[in-house]
Amino acid sequence: MPPAPFPTAVATDRGRSRLRNEDSHLVDPELGLVVVADGMGGHPDGDVASALATQEVGRRMRSAIEGVLASSSTESASPLGEKMIQAVLMADARIREAGAAESSHSGMGTTLTVLAAHPDGTRVVIAHIGDSRAYVLEGGRSRQLTRDHTWVEEQIAAGALTREQARGHCWRHVLTQAAGVGDEITPELLELDAWPGQLYLLCTDGLTNMLTNLAIERTLEDALPRGLEGATWALVDAANDRGGIDNVTVALLSIE
């Protein structure tokens, strides 16, 4: 079998404090597709919400990427981005419909972060809602690509809190947007140039609440010689070693 065009790996764990894992994920190395969702802790059926979101986005994005492959398009990634926003909105609608149809599901919600590499490997499209993050790593350094949809992030943007104050704030986990709950969502979309040597990381906040960006970089630097799978589990283990207060999911996609 020929090697996958986009090497990927994923690891997930319920952590050391939670009774169940409410994260969901999808990785498709053949299509360069990665989805990570974090069911909202403390809300009913967060695991159901994250699974519904992952399934809906996965189904729609597979169709969208296969359409690009079939057309042999060399156009910009914009059509793929439009399909991705539609997929996130439909995932939101599906969760809300499920909550309305069954009382036990009422109020369930999830974060959602989606990455698709254009089939030619020159562009990456990312959409997200909530505080599951996407990073790009190259040359041993990481750069956060997504902006958390949280109350503290809004306060930082307004100049009311510093980044250090936000890290320990009692409201740091309060989401301002999530799929399936609250007001109408507005997913954010990023369309980026990509090139060989880049490594994209998608993760739930079970990782970023435990590890700083510097700790993520150092853990990957040590673990990547063992391959992508070893690197994902090294990050999960590091989060658990620092307390593991939440479910943690880590997915990697390499541009080669």
Q: What are the boundaries of each domain within the chain? A: 8-254
- Closest by CA position to 12, among listed 248, 254, 175: 248
| pLDDT exceeds 90 at position 152 | no
pLDDT band of residue 75 (cuts 50, 70, 90) is low
For the domain covering 8-254, report its CATH number: 3.60.40.10
Q: What is the pLDDT of residues 184-202, one digit of tens each?
A: 999 999 999 999 999 999 9
Q: What is the pTM of this model?
A: 0.93
Q: What is the pLDDT of residues 204-222, one digit of tens each?
A: 999 999 999 999 999 999 9
pLDDT band of residue 72 (cuts 50, 70, 90) is low
Q: Which residue type occupies 113? A: T
| pLDDT exceeds 50 at position 203 | yes
User: Residue 167's Cα: distance from chain center in Å?
Assistant: 20
Residues 133 and 202: beta-carbon distance below 8 Å:
yes
